[in-house]
Structure 1
Amino acid sequence: MTAVLPAGPRKVLPFLFRRTAPPASLPSRTDHSMRQSLGFYAMVAGLFLAIVDTQLVTSSMKEIQGGLSAGLDEIGWVQSAYLIGEIVMIALAGTLSRAVGTRLLFTLSAIGFAVASLLCGMASSLGEMTAARALQGFLGGAMIPTLFAANILMFPPAKQVRMTVLIGLVATLAPTIGPALGGMVTQALSWRWLFFITVLPGLAVAWAVWLLVDIDKGDKAALRNFDSFGASLLAISLGSLQYVLHEGPRLQWLDDGSIRALLLAAALAGALLVWRCLWQPAAILNLGVFRNRNFTLGCLFNFALGAGLFVGDYLMAQYLGRVRGLNSEQIGYTLLVTGAFEVLGAPVSLWLATRVDPRYVLALGYALFASGLYLATGMTADWDFDELFWSQAVRGFSLMLCFVPVTGLALGTLSAGQVRDASGLFSLTRNLGGAIGLAWVATAFEDRTVLHRSRLAESLDAFDPQVQDRLAGIAAELSDVIRQDPDLAALRVMSDIVNLQAEVMAFNDLLLMLAGIMAVAVLLLPFVRRTAAA
């Protein structure tokens, strides 16, 4: 007797069985002519423009604030708007690439980025700048994940490794040199040229990609069946989350009504989005790629790398600015040590990737990254370029040893049809790691500073002869300048010294915690399936 079975699992959880078949026009991975290679290099240039623009403005915020007549608590929107637009497009890029084709999407993204850059440079108010920056981040954001997919689709495995090294160099160098480059441009010209200088390069990238790249064709059926409701949920969820993470520390998190409202919106929209992706066969996100264990673990490693990369640079920049008193341009030059050693680490990562099990390279990279952070945990208020050199050098050298194997493990074992969906999710995890890490560190820094300040204050006994001698010495030094009450001035100076030392101790705490996160990530390696060296 034949039993009547209920609806099969394909109808119950369609995302588990959803596969994206490669289109018939997809070229062979061995078809890597000089024309295609030049087109790929043009795409790499577009990646540089999209990433460097996130940091290009950081060293010129005061000038932009003055030019737009914006308040100190408002100017952060110049950065927030870009990040919100970018993170939404990164998640959407896979679906859009499938619908219109890689070449058209990248070309439109580069043109849109250039036009939005022009609008940013012409902005006369904070509102205009915020809208233009959101548009710039959204339109330019497609260039980031599309490039990762293009690498897998265009080249055979042996050449993919070399191109992954190039992508990694650009993706990690761009935010490092951004502040220094931005400072130079603003001093030589004006802050508006931070945006104008990217217009012509953006148009040149669009022209080159349109002429030289021919990877695939758009799927009209995918375009007709585009999940607009899912895209709306995605935009609400990620946009709200990015705002909460960026503005939460400044607004004291749940104490602010807008943060509570947007956090609720992000949670509800995110839950509906996941539900829709689980049950809708043609949903905006293909969660079926997470069935690949290496891709899932690669995303977790990428999340940790995003946190380590963005938070590590942030902590170094904040220390040099708050404690050492350097300006943004000087900070940028100091942090170039990290970039220089990234370049030195590139050929080493390429050599290892072609000869050694990627899991071992990954373990070495994350261990070195954690070690580089740990080397900085003994900072004092007097550390400068020389004392920070080896910490930055080790961290910079290790970056390529992390980036190359993580990208290969995550995307290298997927089919050609899955790569475009997966590349957006993969890039998204790195951005989320950085956003969540920065939100955490902004809050934790204040908490740790308050803790250390209270402990240092408790250890200072007003009747201690050493404390009294120190106060007397400060008062004597100030007596020629402040004649009314040098003793009160000495107490204020002592308070500033305590605050400074508390901040240094907080920086050390956070660097140690971050090093621990990077080290703990290595514990995931036993779960990674072995893949052969390229």
Structure 2
Amino acid sequence: MASTALPSGNGTAPARPANADLGAWLAVAAGTLGALMATLDISIVNSALPTIQGEIGATGTEGAWVATAYLVAEIIIIPLSAWLERVLGLRTFLLIAVTLFTGFSIVCGFANSLVMMIVGRVGQGFTGGAMIPTAQTIIAQRLPRHQQSIGTAAFGVVAILGPLIGPLVGGWLAENLSWHYAFFLNVPISFILITLLLVGLKHQPSRLNLLREADWIGIAGLALGMGGLTVFLEEGSREEWFASPLIQKMAFISAIGFILLLYGQFTARRPVIKLALLLDRQFGSVAIMGMALGVVLYGTSYAIPQFLASIADYNALQSGKVVLLSGIPSILLMPFVPFLLKRVDIRIAVAFGMGIMGLSAFMETSLTLGSTGGDFTESQLMRGVGQIMGMLFLSQAVVQSVPPEDAGDASGLFNSMRNLGGSFALAGISILQQNRLWLHSRRIEETLNANSPAVQDYVNGLGQMISSPQAGIRMLGQQIQGQALVMTYNDIFFAMSIVTLAVLPLVLFLRPLPRNAALGAMH
């Protein structure tokens, strides 16, 4: 980092610190590009998911795993990134991550089965998740303090827009080329990124001796606990919960994993995740609100394209444009970030942001069979305002709520909690789709008496339109399923609004940010 000149003996003002050189900015560009690629791939498959499901032979419920697998892997790797960086050195760590990420992207692009796709997405999540927190490290290490806000603003735009433009990019590629290119796109970007890393970052010696000091028990517990829990949530409804041997095994594996994770908290010199931070009133509140934020961010970016594809017959590109709407307010508000941090009380800002996000989800609970992308315009724009306010101030509260030596652990834990919220959202959507669709279908059918003259006239009318009484009955069944599906999505958006509004009282536990607080990186 650039040094600051000492004041001269004649009382003149100290010289301005030197600006970052070209190499430093190339390093920041590398970190930002890596974070963009990683965040983009979180949601790049969402719009093209119906097409991908058809080609790899996956059901709608199984298709959720294509998105969930990436998030779960990210949850595991993000807390480990700081330690892996110390072990391997920053440049070596990033070069390995980018190379493996490219390889796993190629695996996804050539996938012809659900298993192959899941393996590739897990690998992408592990390696892509490693590139996100290291981008923050590069900004802190390579830029002088007076220029860090520039790097942070660029990273903030990437962190917010990555998941939003993912469906648009994936949709355009799926419609104009093929869904395979949503993954092959990473190959040329990776070559640019590797070049920037080699030029912008210096080699640091590895410290392999740290491997002996690692919290291996906690690492194993983290992987088993989170992996088992996600499978339990995803497959529980379809497998009839504990009636299934698979679900019983997943519950057992998850329990063992969390026991190992807790054991590491008391025995390891430096636990893989410092869970004790959650006991802090402010940080615990921030983490819970971050999880709720993840539920809405990732849940809506998954549910909206699915709704538009199944109800409005939108293609992947059209759905991606609707999802991207929430990024417009984020871009417009980003230049005002420093002013907002200094002038707006964190409790007011977070309450406003989370409240707006909850309200935007509630606005999507009155959808009908005639709803199209235009019905999401207002709610998406509101969601964009809410997410920039919520994410912006919660990210700052993470750093301010813990001692400086715990800032890295707190950042990793907060990011994992937010991604965990996204994982819960995708699993919850899958469960609601199965249970509520069946429930609403049965309730609609119960209101239709087969002997009712009105029902018989309606079915006969449909039959006359298509010259087949049996076809009329089938058409009625399709209409019932369509109505039940719309009601199911209304339930999904209602659940997301309740989750967001339920955590609003936690803002009372937040403390105002210091007026001179440095601008922290967001993800």
TM-score, normalising length from structure 1? 0.83
* Pair 1:84–1:345, CA change in 2 (3 A): same
Q: Is the 8 A contact 1:380 1:504 kept in 2?
A: yes
2:181 aligned partner: 193
Q: Deviations over 1:309-351 (max 9, x none)?
A: 1112233223212222223232222222222233233335453
Q: Secondary structure at the match of 1:325?
A: coil
Cα offset, 1:89, TM superposition: 1.4
Aligned pair 1:481/2:466, yes or no? Answer: yes
Q: Is the 8 A contact 2:217 2:261 kept in 1?
A: no
Q: Which runs of 5+ in 1 are unaligned?
A: 1-24
Cα offset, 1:523, TM superposition: 0.5
* Pair 1:357–1:81, CA change in 2 (3 A): closer
Aligned pair 1:522/2:504, yes or no? Answer: yes
Q: Is the 8 A contact 2:68 2:426 kept in 1?
A: no
Cα offset, 1:434, TM superposition: 0.8
* Pair 1:112–1:134, CA change in 2 (3 A): same
- Between the aligned partners of 2:462 and 2:242, the Cα distance in structure 1 is 46
Aligned with residue 479 of structure 2, among 483, 486, 497: 497
Aligned pair 1:311/2:299, yes or no? Answer: yes
* Pair 1:449–1:295, CA change in 2 (3 A): same
1:440 aligned partner: 428
Q: Is the 8 A contact 2:357 2:387 kept in 1?
A: yes
Aligned with residue 366 of structure 1, among 345, 349, 354: 354
Q: Deviations over 1:275-306 (max 9, x none)?
A: 22223223333335446543332211111100
- Between the aligned partners of 1:380 and 1:65, the Cα distance in structure 2 is 25
Aligned residue identity for 2:342: T
1:406 aligned partner: 394
- Between the aligned partners of 2:157 and 2:483, the Cα distance in structure 1 is 36
- Between the aligned partners of 1:308 and 1:199, the Cα distance in structure 2 is 30
Q: Which runs of 5+ in 2 are unaligned?
A: 5-16, 518-523
Structure 1 residues 88-97 or 162-171, which shifts more? 162-171
- Between the aligned partners of 1:294 and 1:163, the Cα distance in structure 2 is 27
Aligned with residue 275 of structure 2, among 287, 290, 304: 287
Q: Is the 8 A contact 1:475 1:489 kept in 2?
A: no
Cα offset, 1:402, TM superposition: 1.0
What does residue range 114-513 of structure 1 map to in structure 2 within 5 Å?
A: 114-122=102-110, 128-151=116-139, 163-213=151-201, 222-290=210-278, 292-461=280-449, 467-468=454-455, 471-473=456-458, 475-483=460-468, 486=469, 488-513=470-495
Cα offset, 1:103, TM superposition: 3.8
* Pair 1:411–1:265, CA change in 2 (3 A): same
Q: Deviations over 1:385-411 (max 9, x none)?
A: 332211111112221111110100012
Cα offset, 1:249, TM superposition: 4.1
Aligned residue identity for 1:387: D
Q: Is the 8 A contact 2:68 2:423 kept in 1?
A: no
Cα offset, 1:159, TM superposition: 6.1
Q: Is the 8 A contact 1:367 1:518 kept in 2?
A: yes
- Between the aligned partners of 1:96 and 1:520, the Cα distance in structure 2 is 36
Aligned residue identity for 2:78: I
Cα offset, 1:191, TM superposition: 3.6
Q: Secondary structure at the match of 2:252?
A: helix
Q: Secondary structure at the match of 2:419?
A: helix
Cα offset, 1:194, TM superposition: 2.5
Q: Secondary structure at the match of 2:364?
A: coil
Aligned pair 1:54/2:42, yes or no? Answer: yes
Q: Deviations over 1:368-387 (max 9, x none)?
A: 11121122222222122332
Q: Secondary structure at the match of 1:354?
A: helix
Q: Secondary structure at the match of 2:24?
A: helix
Q: Secondary structure at the match of 1:377?
A: coil
* Sequence identity percentage: 28
2:94 aligned partner: 106
Aligned residue identity for 1:482: S
Q: Is the 8 A contact 1:165 1:404 kept in 2?
A: no
* Pair 1:82–1:387, CA change in 2 (3 A): closer
Q: Secondary structure at the match of 1:530?
A: coil
Q: Is the 8 A contact 2:399 2:410 kept in 1?
A: yes
Aligned residue identity for 1:504: V
- Between the aligned partners of 1:185 and 1:420, the Cα distance in structure 2 is 37
* Pair 1:82–1:519, CA change in 2 (3 A): closer
* Pair 1:382–1:215, CA change in 2 (3 A): farther
Q: Is the 8 A contact 2:218 2:262 kept in 1?
A: no
Q: Is the 8 A contact 2:74 2:416 kept in 1?
A: no
- Between the aligned partners of 1:237 and 1:263, the Cα distance in structure 2 is 9
- Between the aligned partners of 2:480 and 2:54, the Cα distance in structure 1 is 33
- Between the aligned partners of 1:32 and 1:114, the Cα distance in structure 2 is 33
Q: Secondary structure at the match of 1:406?
A: helix
Q: Secondary structure at the match of 1:229?
A: helix
* Pair 1:204–1:414, CA change in 2 (3 A): farther
- Between the aligned partners of 1:400 and 1:298, the Cα distance in structure 2 is 15
Q: Is the 8 A contact 1:309 1:434 kept in 2?
A: yes
Structure 1 residues 275-284 or 410-419, which shifts more? 410-419
Q: Is the 8 A contact 1:248 1:439 kept in 2?
A: no
Cα offset, 1:453, TM superposition: 3.3
- Between the aligned partners of 1:262 and 1:420, the Cα distance in structure 2 is 31
- Between the aligned partners of 1:303 and 1:390, the Cα distance in structure 2 is 24
- Between the aligned partners of 1:274 and 1:305, the Cα distance in structure 2 is 25
Cα offset, 1:50, TM superposition: 1.2
Aligned residue identity for 2:312: R
Q: Deviations over 1:115-137 (max 9, x none)?
A: 33234445566655544433232
How many residues of Structure 1 are paired with residues of Structure 2 in the alignment? Answer: 502
Aligned pair 1:532/2:519, yes or no? Answer: no
Q: Is the 8 A contact 1:65 1:75 kept in 2?
A: yes
* Pair 1:242–1:514, CA change in 2 (3 A): same
* Pair 1:74–1:490, CA change in 2 (3 A): closer
Q: Secondary structure at the match of 2:326?
A: helix
- Between the aligned partners of 1:420 and 1:475, the Cα distance in structure 2 is 68
Q: Deviations over 1:218-256 (max 9, x none)?
A: 666534422333322322222222333344444443343
- Between the aligned partners of 2:53 and 2:484, the Cα distance in structure 1 is 30
* Pair 1:510–1:186, CA change in 2 (3 A): closer
* Pair 1:64–1:434, CA change in 2 (3 A): closer
Aligned residue identity for 1:33: A
Q: Is the 8 A contact 1:40 1:213 kept in 2?
A: no
- Between the aligned partners of 2:404 and 2:94, the Cα distance in structure 1 is 18
* Pair 1:491–1:522, CA change in 2 (3 A): same
Aligned residue identity for 2:475: V
- Between the aligned partners of 1:94 and 1:289, the Cα distance in structure 2 is 17
